[in-house]
Each structure stands twice: as structure tokens, then as C-alpha cells.
Amino acid sequence: MMQDFLPPRRLLLGPGPSLVHSRVLHAMATPLLGHLDPVFLGVMNDIQTLLRRTFATANRFTIAISGTGSAGMEAAVVNLVEPGDAVVVGINGVFGTRLATLVERCGGKAIRVEAPWGRIIEPEAIASALQRSGPVKAVAVVHAETSTGAWQPIEPVGRLCRDYNALLIVDTVTSLGGAPVEVDRWGIDACYSATQKCLSCPPGLAPFTLSDRALAAIKNRRTACQSWYLDMALVANYWAEQTRAYHHTAPISMLYALREGLRLVEEEGLAARYARHRLNSDALIAGLMALGFDPLPLPGQRLPMLSCVSLPPSIDDAAVRARLLETYGIEIGGGLGPLKGKVWRIGLMGESSTEANVLTLLNALEELGIRYGWVSAPGVALQAAARVYSGGTGS
């Protein structure tokens, strides 16, 4: 007979998933209700209210899509892009590239605005693309590029979209709940995220919100949405209080989890949550730089929940990450695409973003560095982090 599965204890400090609060796990274990049960519909109402606060929006269409962050990305594109539509796409990593691919799969024309991996897409480059490209249906950018740790400014892009009558699609998969996301103030029309990053829930849902401009574009489509499951015109009827029409069976337990995770966000307060992520990121970067790791993004462009650092030549990427996992139970992420073997991606997201976790990781890296000869002065990383926590200078 197959034995029970008991996963090993892990400290999740990779690019996702993050650690999950015990209250969220407990919520998932509560009894199921039917997906049209009036009590469960109340849970959905709570989620919508809490998501609007987290997204900083009054959008009536604010829901959680049944699927991971990639489902949120696909939903944004397949609902707003039709064959022949021109879409300006910012590409500075894996997920901008994926957005362009989705635009083309919908029959749209992806106008690529590229920047080196680890750098932001300059608003001037987007303005230039809008000027030379004629009518543009939308601009799509990644707020928090998980493959590089780059933190994209959104507000100036939103102003450009209004000037050129283009919709703005923004990927906040890694940033929502860990850094400010101001949907209404920045002029975002379609915004999606994921539950397993800074919201610290298991993977499986994609928080999603659409502006009235986006809803009007969906209503006025010339062609049917190419996806039935992710057709927001249909899904809207399940989430709208006035209709509650069956579309698909909702993932009941995951929605319980998201409600509890959002309650935890509300209890901490967004400002305090953002400050916590910033402080722990500064301490981590200070410690890593003391060990010889250089951040890939420039100062002022570094995500506070996902640090991407270049590896010194003396470090064997795969071997050290494997030893971290085997010996210390710590998971961090390697590089993707052209950055494979060249960078580490270290996540301090949601429940994973604590001083204790920063110091635990730095201590483990120091021990490995001493053992393998790439650290000569024990304690430098911990001292650098401690200076940040005691009010000294961060990154």
C-alpha cells in the first residue's frame, strides 16, 4: 500500500510559492459548500471587497480567476485582443516575452519594446512606439518582472495610454500585496496577479480586475473570445451579485484560503506590509553584497519582494542551491533563459518576508562560503544586514 505523503520542511525563499500562514491552511481544511450556496456567495462578496482594497480600485469587476497567474495573464489578453489589434508590449524578461506570445496567438500584432534583462522599460521608449505605430489597442507591461527582479514604473505608462486612447494591461503577479499597486490612480485597465506570491496562499487563483473602459472593449468585440473558460463576459455572470449564473465549478477551498489571506493583509495594513518587504529586502541585499553578489537591477529599480543577484565566478549555481536545499532546507531560485546559471532569484514574499528568514539564509550562505572558500571573513553578511535592521544604510 502506498505510504502517506509527508513533505519535508522547507524554508521557501524562491520566486514562488511563498510560505503560507497557518490560518490560511486551516481555512482550506474547513468543510465544503456548494459553489452556488448563498453562504459561499457571501465568501465571494468578501473576496471582491478585500481585493478592491488591495488593488486600490473601485472597479466593480474585481474577481479571482480559477487558475494560476498565467491564467490571469491569458484572460487579460484573450479578452481584450482581437485579430489585427496592435499591442505595445514591454519586454525585459520572461513574462514580458510571454505577453507578446499571447498577443500573437490571439492574432494581434505585438509591437515589442525591449530593454536589457534587469532594466526597466523606459516610458520614453513606450511613447516612441505609440507615436510611430498608428492606432494601438493596448499597452502591456510587467510591474514586477519575476525573472529579473526589475520594478517597472506604471504611472507614466498609464498617462501615455490615456493620451493615445490605448488600454493598459499590467502584470502584478509578484507585486500585489508586497509593493504599492494603484489600479485606479495609475490608470490600469486590466490587472492580474497570483495567490502564491505576496498574498501567501497556495497557487491556484489569479486575482483580476477590469476597468469600465476594459469592460466596454470586451462588450464591443468584433469576434468571440477565443477562450470559453476565460471569457470574462461569461465569468462575470457568476461573480455579479445580480445574476450568479453557473459558469464553472469554483475551487471552493482555494477561495476560502484567499479570503483568509486577504484578511491577514488587511489586519497588517498595506503601508506596514510594504514597509516590511522593503526593510527585509534592504537587509538581504546588504548581506548579499557583502558576500560578493551584485544586484542585477539598478538602485531604485529593484523589487522589494524578489531580489535577483549576479553570481561571482567562484560559485557553482546548481551545486550551492542543491546544498542549501539538502543541508538547510532552504529553497531559492536560479536564473531563467539567458540568465540561467548566472543569477539567483531570492523571494521575500508575504509570510516569507521576515528578519529571521533573511538572517537564516545569510548565515547558511556564509557557512557554505567558508566551507568552499568563497567567504574569507565570517560574519560580514550578518553584520551588514544587522546594520540595516538597526537603522543603518540599506541598498
Flag whether the pTM goes above 0.85: yes
How far CA 22 is from CA of 1, 15, 201, in Å, comes to 30, 21, 10
Q: Which three cell numbers stand for residue 353?
A: 518576508
**Three-state SS annotation for the chain:** CCCCCCCCCCEECCCCCCCCCHHHHHHHCCCCCCCCCHHHHHHHHHHHHHHHHHHCCCCCEEEEEECCHHHHHHHHHHHHCCCCCEEEEEECCHHHHHHHHHHHHCCCEEEEEECCCCCCCCHHHHHHHHHHCCCCCEEEEECEECCCCEECCCHHHHHHHHHCCCEEEEECCCCECCECCCHHHHCCCEEECCCCCCCCCCCCEEEEEECHHHHHHHHCCCCCCCCCCCCHHHHHHHHCCCCCCCCCCCCHHHHHHHHHHHHHHHHHCHHHHHHHHHHHHHHHHHHHHHCCCEECCCCCCECCCEEEEECCCCCCHHHHHHHHHHHHCEECEECCHHHCCCEEEEECCHHHCCHHHHHHHHHHHHHHHHHHCCCCCCCHHHHHHHHHHCCCCCC
Q: Where do the structural domains in the chain lie, given as residue ranges?
A: 22-266, 270-389
Nearest one of 308, 309, 304 to 280, comparing CA atoms: 304
Rounded Cα–Cα distance for residues 193 and 185 (Å): 18
Domain 270-389 in CATH 3.20.20.370? The answer is no
How far, in Å, CA of 49 to CA of 27, rounded? 18
Give the chain's largest Cα–Cα span: 66
Distances (CA, A) of 274 to 18, 55, 160, 177, 315: 16, 13, 27, 8, 32
Q: What is the pLDDT of residues 179-218, one digit of tens each?
A: 999 999 999 999 999 999 999 999 999 999 999 999 999 9
d(CA 182, CA 110) in angstroms, rounded, equals 26
Distance CA 199, CA 162 (A): 30
Contact yes or no for 191/54 (Cβ under 8 A)? no
Residues contacting residue 326 through CB under 8 Å, at least 6 positions apart: none
The list of the chain residues with pLDDT below 50 reads: 394-395
CATH class assigned to 22-266: alpha beta
What pLDDT does residue 392 have?
60
* Mean of pLDDT over the chain: 96
Using CA atoms, how far apart are residues 269 and 289, in angstroms rounded to an integer? Answer: 30
Cell of 8: 519535508
Name the β-bridge partners of 174: none
So what's the pLDDT on residue 376?
86
Alpha-carbon span 198 to 201, nearest angstrom: 8
Give the model's pLDDT for residue 241: 81
Q: Note the pLDDT of residue 394.
A: 46
